[in-house]
Amino acid sequence: MNKLRKGDSVIVITGRDKGKRGTVTRRVDDDHLLVDGVNMVKKHVKPNPMKGITGGVIDKAMPIHQSNVAIFNGATGKADRVGIKLLDNGDKVRIYKSSGEQIKA
C-alpha cells in the first residue's frame, strides 16, 4: 500500500521548492511523484506543424522523490507522517501519525 496517492495534498519538506504545497497528479514509479506547481523547469520545444505545436519555452513539472514531500494535514495545518492501520474487518486504512485520524481517500 502506497502511503502517498494520486489526489493527496502534499507539502515539500526539502529542496528548492521547500514549503510549497500541491496535489499529487500521478505516480511516475514506486519512488517518484508528479506534483502540480512543484519542481517546475523550463523546456525548450521545437515547433512541429504536423502536430500543431508552436515552438518556444514552456514550464513543465518534473517528478520529485516521495521522500522530499510529506502529506499535508488540514486539521493541524502542518506536514504529517502516514501510518497504516488494520481495521477489525481486515481493511487497511491510512492514518495521520500525529492524531491517529483516518485520511480521507
CATH number, span 9-96: 2.30.30.30
Q: For the chain, what is the radius of gyration of the CA atoms?
A: 17
What pLDDT does 61 receive? 94
Report the sign of the C-alpha dihedral through residues 85, 8, 63, 70, in that order: negative
Q: pLDDT-derived band of residue 105, with 50, 70 and 90 as boundaries? A: low
Q: pLDDT-derived band of residue 2, with 50, 70 and 90 as boundaries? A: confident
pTM of the model: 0.83
- 93, pLDDT greater than 70: yes
Residue by residue, DSSP assigns 5-67 as: -TT-EEEE-SSTTTT-EEEEEEE-SSSEEEETTSSEEEEEE--BTTTTBPPEEEEEE--EEGG
pLDDT tens per residue across span 7-60? 999 999 999 999 999 999 999 999 999 999 999 999 999 999 999 989 999 999
